[in-house]
Amino acid sequence: MNVGFIGLGHMGGPMSLNLIRAGIPLVVHDLDKAAAEEHLALGATWADSPAELATQVDVLITMLPGPRQVESVLVTAGVTDALPEGSVWLDMSTSTPEVARRVGERLDTRGVSRLEAPVCGMAKGAKAGTLQIFVGGAEGVLERCRPLLDVMGDPERVFHVGPHGAGYAVKLMLNQLWFSHLVATTEVLTVGVKAGVDLAVLRRALVASSANSHFLEHDLASVLERGDYDESFAMALACKDLGLSVDLARDVGVPVELSAMVEQIYRRGRAKYGDLAGEMIPVRLYEELAGIELRVPVGE
């Protein structure tokens, strides 16, 4: 199986390196050729353009920042016209069902199959090959691509979630719920501390109650224990994902007042702290508004 990979950034870089280390022949492309240095040193082949890469592969994997870049690479850069009949486009970007539908219609006329497989697990999971993957599309195409997905993700957490569009929807809703957890949890902790409750005591009480969540117990520890607002995922990308989630809700006719408020809080944080601030920087926004610092001793 000849495999191509476009998008060697924060996530795509380590994901594609895992494929190479697993012995899978890989052709790679990125806007920045320097991003491919390690790949080429390990035996990957460089393609000068997305279209040139597409002519050489049985499976094309894309891991791009968002739907605009997906459509630009697939359509504007000529990939849809270059992929050979019988090949597969495997999109692992956080994109939208609508963009995939438009691109997919062009591929359908050329006999090219497609599968969406957005991921969860951040850069740490990408490096370790333990990503959770949400697959939308035909089961037969999934089985064809499963050997690749099992290298990049945890085989026990590669989920077939439905037809085309379902994978993108699951990923967007997962993101929306996580960001909502952050805002709701931060508000609760901030109010509790301002009301005179020791933060470590409040946190322990919540963790032991029905209000506990994975976010409160694990994800938020980086801020509370170390003051780390997680710069591994930037606010520019967080706001992009939130916008896509709210847009999807509008597209399917569901009013999402809470999600819209969460999006606005994130946009306020981005405006204050910048595009590259970490995805948990809204915690700092609340800290500054309340005149406190949410910190606990490690292990508390």
Q: What digits encode the pLDDT tens for the residues 170-221?
A: 999 999 999 999 999 999 999 999 999 999 999 999 999 999 999 999 999 9
Cα–Cα distance between 229 and 221 in angstroms, integer? 10
Same domain, 107 and 186: no
**CATH number of the domain bearing residue 84:** 3.40.50.720
Cα–Cα distance between 232 and 165 in angstroms, integer? 27
Same domain, 211 and 251: yes
Mean pLDDT of 35-49: 98
Same domain, 61 and 185: no
| Structure tokens that stand for 113 in this block | 């199959």
**CATH number of the domain bearing residue 202:** 1.10.1040.10
Same domain, 207 and 120: no
Residue 47 DSSP code: -
pLDDT at 232 over 90: no
- Does residue 298 fall inside a structural domain? no
Q: Are 57 and 4 in contact (CB under 8 A)?
A: yes
- Does residue 99 fall inside a structural domain? yes
- Does residue 300 fall inside a structural domain? no
- Closest by CA position to 240, among listed 132, 29, 93: 93
State the residue range of the domain holding 72.
3-164
- Does residue 295 fall inside a structural domain? no
Task: Pick the last residue of a domain from 111, 136, 164.
Answer: 164
- Does residue 299 fall inside a structural domain? no
- Does residue 296 fall inside a structural domain? no
- Tallying the residues shown for the chain, one arrives at 300
Cα–Cα distance between 297 and 300 in angstroms, integer? 6
pLDDT in tens, 44-77: 999 999 999 999 999 999 999 999 999 999 999 9
Same domain, 47 and 174: no
Same domain, 283 and 245: yes
Same domain, 174 and 158: no
Same domain, 175 and 249: yes
The span from the first CA to the last CA of the chain, in angstroms, equals 50
- Would you place residue 299 in the very low, low, confident or very high pLDDT band (cuts 50, 70, 90)? confident
Same domain, 131 and 219: no
Per the annotation, the verdict on 171 as an active-site residue is yes
- Does residue 49 fall inside a structural domain? yes
CA distances from 276 to 190, 222, 280 (A): 24, 17, 11
Cα–Cα distance between 241 and 249 in angstroms, integer? 13
Q: Which residues pair with 235 in a beta bridge?
A: none
Same domain, 184 and 248: yes
Catalytic residue among 33, 127, 171, 272: 171
Total domains, the chain: 2
Cα–Cα distance between 87 and 113 in angstroms, integer? 6
Quick one: pLDDT at residue 36? Answer: 98
